Chains A and B, each alone.
Chain A
Amino acid sequence: MIAEIGLAALWLAAALAVLELLGGFLGARDENNELTALVRPAAVMQGVLCGVSFLALVYLFAVTDLSVKLVAANSHSMKPLAFKLSGAWANHEGSMLLWITVMALAGGLIAFIERRLPEKTMMATLGTQAFVGLGFYLFILLASNPFERLSPVPADGNGLNPLLQDMGVSFHPPTLYIGYVGLSVAFSFALGALLTRQVTPEFARVMRPWVLGSWIFLTIGITAGSYWAYYELGWGGWWFWDPVENASLMPWLAATALLHSASVLAARDALRTWTIMLGVVAFSMSMVGTFLVRSGILTSVHAFAVDPERGSFILALLALYIGGALVVFAMRANTIAEGQRFALLSREGALVVNNVALSAILGIVLLGTLYPLLTEAFDVRVSVGPPYFNPVSAIFFLPMLVVLAVGPLLRWRTDNFARIKWPVIAIGVASLVALAVVLVFFDTSVLSLLGMGLSIGVAVASFLPLKGRAIRRVPLAVWGMCIAHFGVALALFGVAADTAFQKERLVAVSPGDTVEVGPWEATLASVSPVAGPNWTAMQGDIFVSYQGGEQTETLPQARSFWAPPGETSEVALVTRWNGQLYVALGNMAEDGRWQLRLWWKPFVTWIWYGGLLIALGGCLALVGRVVSDLRRRKAEQREEAMRTEEAELASA
């Protein structure tokens, strides 16, 4: 019954999307159309219905209703409840339902609260949102129904891939999806503004919180995903330039560029066409990412679905939406008047460099991700990996960091270098000193060296915009910028330091043996079997100490799951402020000794702290923007009230 309610809610939502689509586009032509009044309620109801549908699926997973095909295929009665729940979206159908639910909720929210833009623009925006949504409703209902029943009912389910039975997975996909799909709002706003010729600073101000919000979720999602890969895969890697990772990185790069260019449009009425273009590109990258992950075109942990029918369905949607948006863009771009001009040496100029660099990096990641798929279609298999992505993206990333350091010091419109000479010298000196120290004392690769030098410079630079301001009166959005830029420095330092200084030790040991890795000593006390709800494991009891100090007990496990069968490595991590010790237990060797893998990873945690700070900066900026927008609106209302009062007095 619950499954049928979920499915019915989804069909109803799809029907409402048709109504919203028609009403929206008719309303964009003539806001007095009869359907116009129905558009916003239709959008809100879709959010509610999709929410009901999604909760129905979560409930089916919670009670392990094996008469539902999806539950039987992906769950197991003996799985812990948390993983039963996360199992609802750790599969193709469930994740697509999550996608459309987030999209419907976002659409409902803008329909419910957003009243600043001209009604025609809003109608075009909601119409676009419904148009995009409709494609995904059809995809789910026709090609990936999560509520399909199964007969006969099996005795128990197949279980969930052990790698995915982890708290990281409960958290990671919803976060990423909110980010991915939140960008659909930017896409719809961009097309709405384009169609009704309303590319104004007000449009940028309305769109910006949505971009910021999505970007925050993407940042957290990518950071969490990276940490998950780090501790779950058992070999200490945190970024692989895997196509699935790239699929989440590309929308992030586009959203980062978009939120900076939207700031220029909001503050200075410049970069109009460019902002629209990025709004289209950002969500297009989300859809490309979904295509890569969902079509089964890649073979990777994330690509659960291997079904060409679905792949071609998503590809058709992609072609329709991205192609359609680009056609509209090409037809309308010349109707957008050029915005305000500015000098290269100005805040806008720096943000243009940032945008160009981010777009170029996006282009490289897209190229490196799609090219192997392209050659594979011609039966030539090539691999594009870190040795390509790292140096080639660095060509744009390193200059961008220099601009990131200096840009916030510049004034809008035009500036002269003499004014910011001293702060720039301070940044340069900090970078060069760091560079020299690393160069003299350590033997590292050129990229790590530059990374460490620049990260120190950016760290110093990130708080310079606060100089000369009364700290208490600094707007929240400026704090947000400083903290996010500092986060970039922190993450970059972590990346460079871990790459340059990590120590690795792979050994076979017997109980009682001691091994050294960097400043750490580790002693294996014993190895014993342990059991969990749906796994058994061998657990190592290992005592570690940093520079001969106090001993800490670590308990890494090599786990074996039985439904479905699989092995994972539960690593033990010992975190210090300056890095992490990574202990993984391997198999038993021929001679009865145990394989141990140990890494000392200096400053590795800074990568994720940096990521979280970037997200925190985004949150502060979001709160700051929303609060100041509300204040301004109140002030405008008050002014208007006063004016009418004065007018009344004058006429009296």
Chain B
Amino acid sequence: MRWLLPLLAALMLVQPATAQDRMPPAPYAYTQLDDPELEEQARELMLTLRCLKCQSQSIADSDAPMAGDMRHQVRTRLAAGESPDEIRAWLVSRYGDYVSYEPQVSATTWPLFVIPIVLLLLAGTVLLRRVGKRGSVEDEGEEPA
């Protein structure tokens, strides 16, 4: 296998030129903010933003260059004093609702919020009906099994 090593070394040298013919990552793509509180806010926000080039991953969980750029945007904007909600709104205006994992109540998404409430009511009704039957068990006493 020794003959492989020079070859590998050569491969390593050319790799950056071939595989990385894109822009270098933005400064805050892989670097945290100095202020731990802001960084915590950034992380929380990034976990709820979709990496548009990936498959069901948030930008906090992705190696994709675009996710890196978006992380950079989130961190620099937070550092500049914008609130997480403002940044989300800005990203949504730019990329559409798809970018946010946190659906907002709207004309298209209302069933997402109404159906759980219906489920809650349904669950409550099922259980209440059982409470109603409670008396009947005790009245019947030792019915045959």
> Which A residues lie at the B interface, using CB under 8 A?
233-237, 240, 242-244, 269, 298-301, 340-345, 349, 352-353, 356-357, 360, 363-364, 367-368, 371, 375, 380-388, 392, 395-396, 413-414, 504-508, 529, 531, 536, 538, 560, 567, 569, 586-590, 595, 597
Q: Of the candidates B102, B115, B116, B123, which one forms a contact with A385 in the assembled complex, judged by CB atoms under 8 Å apart?
A: B102
Residue of B nearest to A387 (CB): B102
Q: Which one of A340, A367, A368, A590 contacts B24 once the chains associate, using CB atoms below 8 Å?
A: A590
**In the complex, are the beta carbons of A381 and B133 less than 8 A apart?**
no
- Is B31 within 8 A of A508, CB to CB? yes
User: Are B30 and A508 within 8 A (Cβ)?
Assistant: yes
Q: Please give, as numbers and ranges, the residues of chain B lying within 8 Å of A235 by CB-CB distance.
A: 57, 60-63
Given A352-B126, A567-B63, check contact A367 B140 (CB 8 Å): no
Contact of A506 among B19, B30, B138, B145 (CB under 8 A): B30
Asked whether A529 lies within 8 Å of B8 as measured between CB atoms, the reply is yes
Partner of A244, one of B47, B56, B62: B56
B48 and A385 within 8 A (CB): yes
Q: Nearest chain B CB to A518's CB is how many angstroms away?
A: 12
Which of B32, B108, B120, B130 neighbours the largest number of chain A CB atoms within 10 Å of its CB? B130
Give Cα distance in the complex from A382 to B8, angstroms: 45
- Interface digits, B106-137 against A, CB 8 Å rule (1 contact, 0 not)? 00110110011001101100110011011011
Seed contacts A237-B61, A340-B145, A506-B30; 16 additional CB < 8 Å A-B pairs:
A235-B60, A237-B57, A242-B55, A299-B55, A341-B133, A367-B112, A371-B109, A380-B97, A381-B97, A381-B98, A384-B101, A395-B116, A395-B120, A536-B11, A538-B12, A560-B19
Q: With A and B bound together, what is the CA distance between A364 and B123 in angstroms?
A: 13
Tell me whether A413 and B137 are in contact in the complex, defined as CB-CB below 8 angstroms, given that A364-B119, A560-B19 are known contacts: yes
Closest 3 CB pairs of A and B: A385-B101, A387-B102, A242-B56
Instruction: Give every chain A residue within 8 A of B63 (Cβ-Cβ).
Output: 234-235, 567, 569, 586
B99 at interface by CB-CB < 8 Å: yes
Are B102 and A388 touching (Cβ within 8 A)? yes
Most buried by B among A300, A506, A508: A506
Minimal Cβ-Cβ distance residue in B for A366: B115
Taking CB atoms, residues of chain B closer than 8 Å to A368 are 112
Main secondary structure of the interface of B (DSSP, over half): helix
Which residue of the partner chain B has the closest CB to A393? B116
Of A300, A353, A383, which is within 8 A of B99 by CB?
A: A383
Is B17 part of the binding interface, using a Cβ–Cβ cutoff of 8 Å? no
Contact assessment for A383 and B137 in the assembled complex, using a CB-CB cutoff below 8 Å = no
Q: Which of B24, B61, B123 counts the most A-chain CB atoms under 10 A from its CB?
A: B123
Task: Specify which chain B residues have a CB less than 8 angstroms from the CB of A243 in the assembled complex.
Answer: 56
Q: For B120, what are the chain A residues with a Cβ–Cβ distance below 8 Å?
A: 360, 395-396
Residues of B within 8 A of A299 (CB): 55
Cα A161 to Cα B98 with chains together (Å): 27
Contact check, B101 vs A388: say whether CB atoms are below 8 A apart: yes
B111 partner residues in chain A, CB cutoff 8 A = 367, 371
CA distance A298 to B54 in the complex (A): 12
Q: Which one of A300, A356, A388 lies within 8 Å of B127 (CB-CB)?
A: A356
The complex places the Cα of A233 from the Cα of B67 at a distance, in Å, of 14
Known contacts A233-B61, A300-B56, A364-B119; is A529 also within 8 Å of B96 by CB?
no
Alpha-carbon distance A396/B24, docked complex (angstroms):
46
Please determine whether A352 and B127 come into contact, CB atoms closer than 8 angstroms.
yes
Question: Does B16 sit at the interface, judged by CB under 8 A?
Answer: yes
User: What residues of chain A lie closer than 8 Å to B130, measured between beta carbons?
Assistant: 344, 349, 352
> Shortest distance in angstroms between B135's beta carbon and chain A's nearest beta carbon?
9
Docked-complex contact B123 and A529, CB < 8 angstroms: no
Instruction: Verify B108–A383 contact, CB threshold 8 A.
Output: no
Contact B134 A343 (CB under 8 A): yes
Is B138's CB under 8 angstroms from A595's CB? no
Residues of B within 8 A of A (CB): 1, 4, 8-9, 11-12, 15-16, 19-20, 24-25, 30-32, 43, 47-48, 50, 55-58, 60-63, 96-103, 108-109, 111-112, 115-116, 119-120, 122-123, 126-127, 130-131, 133-134, 136-138, 140, 145
Shortest CB-to-CB span from B143 to chain A, Å, is 8
Q: Are B31 and A341 in contact (CB under 8 A)?
A: no
Ordered by A's residue number, 23 sampled pairs between the chains whose C-beta atoms are within 8 Å are A233-B57, A269-B145, A298-B55, A344-B127, A344-B131, A344-B133, A344-B134, A360-B122, A360-B123, A363-B116, A367-B116, A368-B112, A380-B97, A384-B101, A386-B48, A387-B48, A387-B102, A388-B101, A395-B120, A505-B32, A529-B9, A531-B4, A589-B30
A385-B32 contact in complex given A300-B56, A341-B133, A344-B134, C-beta closer than 8 Å: no
Shortest Cβ gap from B34 to chain A (Å): 12
Known: A560-B15, A567-B63. A356 touches B126 (CB 8 A): yes
Query: Which residue of A is nearest B134, CB measured?
Result: A343
Considering the chains assembled together, what is the distance between the CA atoms of A588 and B16 in angstroms? 9
| A residues near B12, Cβ cutoff 8 Å | 529, 536, 538
Instruction: Pick the residue among A367, A382, A590, A595 that contacts B115 (CB under 8 A).
Output: A367
Shortest distance between the CB of A392 and any CB in chain B (Å): 5
CB-CB under 8 A from A392, the residues of chain B are: 116
Given contacts A388-B103, A388-B112, contact A383 B123 (CB under 8 A): no
Partner of B56, one of A240, A357, A538: A240
CA distance A457 to B55 in the complex (A): 37
B138:A414 contact, CB within 8 angstroms: yes
Contact B30 A383 (CB under 8 A): no
Q: Which residues of A contact B1 (CB under 8 A)?
A: 531
Give complex CA distance A243, B56 in Å.
8
Which of the residues B30, B47, B97, B119 comes within 8 Å of A386, measured between beta carbons?
B47
A492 to nearest B CB, angstroms? 20
A343 to B136, CA, bound (A): 8
With known contacts A240-B61, A340-B145, A343-B137, A383–B24 Cβ distance under 8 A: no
- Interchain CB contact under 8 A, A353 and B98: no
The CA of A145 and the CA of B140, in the complex, are separated in Å by 61
Which chain B positions have C-beta within 8 A of A298? 55-56
- Distance in angstroms from B127 CB to nearest chain A CB is 7
B8 touches A531 (CB 8 A): yes
Contacts of A367 in B (CB 8 A): 111-112, 115-116
Quote the shortest CB–CB distance from B84 to chain A (angstroms): 12
A504 near B4: Cβ-Cβ < 8 Å: no
Q: How far is the CA of A385 from the CA of B140 in the complex (A)?
A: 49
A344 vs B24: C-alpha distance when bound (angstroms): 63
Nearest CB in chain A to that of B67: its residue: A235
Measured in the bound complex, the distance between the Cα atoms of B23 and A589 in whole Å is 11
Residue among B43, B99, B140 making CB contact with A341, cutoff 8 Å: B140
Residue of B nearest to A562 (CB): B11
Q: A384-B101, A388-B102, A590-B24 are in contact. Are A357 and B123 (CB under 8 A)?
A: yes
Closest to B119 in A: A360
Q: Name the residue on B nearest A233 (C-beta).
A: B61
What residues of chain B lie closer than 8 Å to A383, measured between beta carbons? 50, 97-101, 103
Nearest Cβ distance between residue B42 and chain A, in whole angstroms?
10
Q: Find the residue from B56, B127, B134 having the highest chain A CB count within 10 A.
A: B56
Tell me, rounded to whole Å, the shortest Cβ–Cβ distance linking B141 to chain A: 10
